[in-house]
Amino acid sequence: MAGALEGIRVLDLSTLVQGPQAAAMLHDLGAEVIKVELPEIGDVGRHIGLVPGIEHSSVFIACNRGKRSITVDLRVPDGKAVLEKLVETADVLLSNFKPGTLEEWGLSYEHLAAINPRLIWAAGSFLGPAGPDASREGADMVGQAYGGSVASSGYDGLPVAPTGFLMADHCGSQNLQTGILAALFARERTGRGQRVDVSLLGGQVWAQATEFTHYMMTGEVVGRTNGGHPLVHALYGVFETGDGGALAIAGCPDHLWDAMVEATEHPELHDNPRFGTYLATPEIREELFEVFGAIFKERPVAEWEERLTKAGQRFAKVRTHAEVVADPQTAANNYVVDIPDTWGVSKVLGSPITMTDTPTRWGTEVAELGQHTEEILLEVGFGWDEIAALRDSGAI
C-alpha cells in the first residue's frame, strides 16, 4: 500500500538533527527523500557519535535511514546548476543553514520558485529568519537554553541541566515537518508552493505554551520542576523507591485516592482527602512530596508496579533506554522494529504514527556519502559526459 506522501520528492540539504529528522519523517510517510551533501565531507552528523567497530554514526543513522545520497557543492556555479535541475522535479527543498546562506549561494526561495512555482522551500534555523540575532548560529543545547527550558529544570538550589535528549532539535523538526505538510495541503488548493520557516527558539517557546502563558498572565516565572511540575500542585512527580529505582506518578485525583491509600497500606491517609486532588496548594504539594517520598521508599519498584497497577493508578517505572527497547508494548506498536543485521544493529526505530489506508514505513538502509549521485543525475536528465565534467569541476 502506498504511503500518504507517495509521489512527493524531497531534497534534504540539511545537517545534523533538526532538518534531517523532519525529512526522515517525510520518508516514513511515503516521500522519496534525496539527501544533498557536500562532496568528501557530507552531513556533519556522519562524523558525530561514531560507534566503535562499526564506524557509522548513531546520530546519522537515526535521522537518515531510507534516503538516497547525492554529493553536490552548492557553493560553485556548476553545483548550483545541478540543484536547479533537481528542483525542477522536486516538491520540497528542506535546509537548516544559518539564515541567508542559501540566498548567498543564489538559491533563495524567490529564485527557486521561479524555476518551480510548486516548490515548498522550508528552512529551520536557531532563532528564526527575522530579528537582530537572526544570523547567529546555534544547535540543540543553546536552543534549549535560549528558549527557557533549561532554566526550569532540576531542583531549587542546584545547578540547572539540559534534558537527556535533543529536545530543541526535535521540537524544531516537528514544527518543520508540520509546516511542510500544511504547505503541501495548501498547494492542493492553490497550485503554488511557499516558503516555510521554523526555529529552535520558536519550537522551545511553543513546547512551553502553558508555562509562558502563565508568565504572561501573572508576571510570575513558574520556576524549577523540583521533581514534578511547578504548576501542578498534586501528587505529580518522580519518587525514589526502596531499591534505588524510581516511579513517576501522574497525580491522584479524588476518584483514585482510596485505591492509592489501600495500595500504600497507610490507612491514616483516608483522613487527609485534601491530598487526593489537582486543586491543592503549593504548600499541600510540598507536604504530599514529603509524605509519599517516605512511603515509596518502603518497597522496591517492582512491588510498587504490582500494587499501583492493581489500584488502577496512573504511573510508570522510570525506565532506561534498554528497558524501553525490550518492552513488548514498544514492539507491539512498531516503535522499535527488528531488521536484518545491518551496520551492526538488528533493531531500528519504527514510526510513532500508525495509519490504516496509507501505512507508514521505516528505512532499513543508510546511504554511503554520494552513493546515488550518478543514479539521481541520470534520472533528471544529465548525460554521462556531463556527469564526468561535473566531477572534474568539483561540483559533485
Find where cell 511515503 sits: 30
- State which residues form the domain around 189: 9-207+329-393
Q: Which of 280, 297, 318 is the last residue of a domain?
A: 318
Chain centroid to CA 92: 19
- Residue 249 CA to residue 238 CA, distance in Å, equals 6
Global confidence as pTM:
0.94
| pLDDT in the model for residue 156 | 95
Residue 225 lies in a domain: no
Same domain, yes or no: 200 and 284:
no
| pLDDT in the model for residue 279 | 72
Q: Which of 290, 318, 346 is the last residue of a domain?
A: 318
DSSP state for residue 363 in the 8-state scheme: -
Per-residue pLDDT of the chain (396 residues; tens, 9 = 90+): 899 999 999 999 999 999 999 999 999 999 999 999 999 999 999 999 898 888 789 999 999 999 999 999 999 999 999 999 999 999 999 999 999 999 999 999 999 999 999 999 999 999 999 999 999 999 999 999 999 999 999 999 999 999 999 999 999 999 999 999 999 999 999 999 999 999 999 999 999 999 999 999 999 999 999 999 999 999 999 999 999 999 999 999 888 999 999 999 999 898 776 776 777 788 889 999 999 999 999 999 999 999 999 999 999 999 999 999 999 999 999 999 998 877 667 888 999 999 999 999 988 889 999 999 999 999 999 999 999 999 999 999
CB 382 within 8 A of CB 65: no
> Which CATH number belongs to the domain containing residue 253 in this structure?
3.30.1540
Residue 223 lies in a domain: no
Same domain, yes or no: 183 and 308:
no
| pLDDT in the model for residue 280 | 77
Same domain, yes or no: 311 and 179:
no
- Residue 236 CA to residue 314 CA, distance in Å, equals 10
- Residue 77 CA to residue 105 CA, distance in Å, equals 9
Residue 87 lies in a domain: yes
Residues designated catalytic: 229
Q: Which of 265, 297, 318 is the last residue of a domain?
A: 318
- Residue 120 CA to residue 118 CA, distance in Å, equals 7
| pLDDT in the model for residue 379 | 97
| pLDDT in the model for residue 273 | 66
| pLDDT in the model for residue 52 | 86
How many domains is the chain partitioned into structurally?
Answer: 2
Same domain, yes or no: 21 and 155:
yes
Kindly give, in sequence order, each residue whose CB lies less than 8 Å from that of residue 193, ignoring residues fewer than 6 positions away.
91, 113, 116, 117, 118, 119, 120, 121, 183, 187
| pLDDT in the model for residue 55 | 79
Same domain, yes or no: 173 and 293:
no
| pLDDT in the model for residue 54 | 80
> Which CATH number belongs to the domain containing residue 58 in this structure?
3.40.50.10540
3-state secondary structure of 69: strand
Same domain, yes or no: 159 and 298:
no
Strand partners, 122: 94, 196
Residue 226 lies in a domain: no
